[in-house]
């Protein structure tokens, strides 16, 4: 078990979905690797927070009468002599109502489909700033120290730029995760504001332009380039984060 493999199976381990042999390998690795143990603790806290605070949406009260009317109308058209509501209809209605409620809640709780990585990136940003966790695994303002640190830990090379001349000071980096994606997190600072730059492998090779938005009070800039996905998250003004993203994206 190495750090990269640990990143891939961490969530499944926390959810108790792995076999005994793999679980034993993970336990042995966690006992020796403080970085991965810290990641595990962050995921557990994030899991508990989501369970406690994630919104739950009930089906609207108007859904049940609407479904009942549709079932009755359908039955009346098929069987004019039997316009009553049978036990089979009641069972079908109950099942449909339950599924509709579940689907409505799931749909409403999901991030918008255009950039679904924004909310998970914000969650990882907030978790990394928690006082009990370590924001940086390798602390250095030298890009030639930070960039080689990722070798052997992830299977891609994230961009690490010296942007001190533009006001963005490199603080270091760490391994992290955005949703289920093992990612590199390169940490910068603008004045007293921390910027987490998350980088992970893109599903496709199509580049995307920078889009800056606001998620729960945080500025988030997202884009894709060179087969990688990027999400920069901070509490800085959106214009500052857009400028930061443009500097990172530039050749």
pLDDT value at 156 more than 50: yes
Beta carbons within 8 Å of 21's beta carbon, 6+ residues apart: none
* Mean pLDDT, residues 185-194 taken together: 95
Q: Per the confidence metrics, is the pTM higher than 0.75?
A: no
Find the CATH number of the domain harbouring 137: 3.30.200.100
Q: Would 58 be classed as within a structural domain?
A: no
| Domain ranges, residue 235 | 118-249
Kindly report, residue by residue over 74-111, the tens digit of the pLDDT.
666 666 554 455 555 555 555 665 555 555 454 444 44
pLDDT value at 70 more than 50: yes
185 & 244 share domain:
yes
41 & 132 share domain:
no
105 & 123 share domain:
no
Interatomic CA distance for residues 47 and 38, integer angstroms: 14
Cα 147–chain centre separation: 23
* Mean pLDDT, residues 194-207 taken together: 89
| Cα first-last separation, the chain | 36
Q: Read off φ and ψ for residue 242, nearest 5 degrees.
A: -65, -40
90 & 129 share domain:
no
168 & 238 share domain:
yes
Which of the listed residues 44, 77, 109 is the one where a domain comes to its end?
A: 109
Q: Would 127 be classed as within a structural domain?
A: yes
State the total domains in the chain: 3
132 & 100 share domain:
no
**Per-residue confidence (pLDDT) for residue 115, from 0 to 100:** 53
Kindly report, residue by residue over 27-53, the tens digit of the pLDDT.
888 888 888 888 888 888 887 777 777
Kindly report which listed range (93-107, 165-179, 203-217) carries the lowest average pLDDT score. Answer: 93-107
């Amino acid at each position: 078990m190495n750090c990269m493999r640990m990143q891939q199976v961490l969530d499944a381990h926390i959810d108790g979905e792995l076999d005994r042999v793999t679980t034993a390998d993970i336990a042995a690795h966690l006992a020796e690797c403080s970085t991965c143990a810290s990641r595990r603790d962050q995921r557990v806290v994030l899991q508990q927070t989501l369970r406690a605070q994630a919104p739950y949406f009930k089906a609207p009260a108007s859904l049940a009468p609407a479904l009942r009317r549709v079932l009755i109308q359908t039955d009346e058209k098929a069987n004019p002599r039997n316009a009553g509501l049978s036990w089979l209809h009641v069972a079908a209605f109950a099942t449909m109502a339950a599924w509709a409620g579940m689907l409505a809640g799931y749909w409403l709780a999901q991030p918008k489909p255009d950039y679904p990585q924004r909310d998970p990136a914000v969650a990882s940003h907030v978790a990394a700033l928690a006082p009990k966790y370590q924001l940086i695994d390798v602390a250095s303002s030298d890009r030639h120290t930070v960039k080689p640190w990722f070798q052997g830990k992830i299977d891609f090379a994230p961009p690490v730029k010296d942007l001190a001349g533009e006001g963005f000071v490199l603080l270091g980096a760490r391994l992290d995760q955005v949703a289920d994606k093992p990612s590199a997190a390169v940490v910068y600072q603008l004045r007293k504001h921390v910027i987490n730059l998350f980088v992970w492998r893109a599903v496709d090779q199509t580049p995307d332009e920078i889009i800056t938005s606001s998620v729960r009070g945080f500025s988030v800039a997202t884009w894709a380039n060179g087969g990688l996905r990027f999400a920069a998250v901070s509490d800085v003004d959106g214009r500052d984060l857009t400028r930061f993203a443009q500097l990172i994206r530039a050749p």
